[in-house]
């Protein structure tokens, strides 16, 4: 299954700190907040590269959780 993330919230935390909350596959249980310290030397390309890494991270977490759940489900004792 391909995992897709989206930004669901952006919040100003402090003078130079912004939090971005991502959600994977529309599943609120995957909501993950990430903070970035912004400065005058950052470009939009820098911010996009940071965001791309965060998207990949959250997608990986969701994929790993799905794999772990499937593994443990497969070990459950079957009842007849």
The two beta strands, 5-14 and 17-24, are antiparallel
Q: Compute CA distances 68 → 23, 41, 75, whole Å.
A: 19, 41, 11
Distance CA 70, CA 64 (A): 10
pLDDT digits (tens, 9 = 90+) for 11-66: 999 999 999 999 999 999 999 999 999 999 999 999 999 999 999 999 999 999 99
Residue corresponding to tokens 């971005």: 20
Higher-confidence residue: 42 or 1? 42
Instruction: 34-37: list long-range contacts, CB under 8 Å, 24+ apart.
Output: none
Name the residue with tokens 């930004």.
7
Q: Whole-prediction pTM value?
A: 0.87
Residue-range domain boundaries for the chain: 5-75
């Amino acid at each position: 299954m391909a995992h897709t993330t989206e930004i669901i919230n952006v919040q100003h935390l402090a003078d130079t700190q912004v939090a971005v909350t991502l959600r994977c596959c529309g599943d609120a249980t995957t909501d993950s907040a990430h903070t970035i310290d912004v400065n005058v030397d950052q470009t939009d390309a820098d911010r996009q590269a940071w965001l791309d890494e965060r998207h990949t991270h959250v997608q990986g977490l969701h994929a790993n959780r799905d794999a772990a759940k499937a593994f443990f489900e497969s070990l459950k004792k079957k009842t007849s």
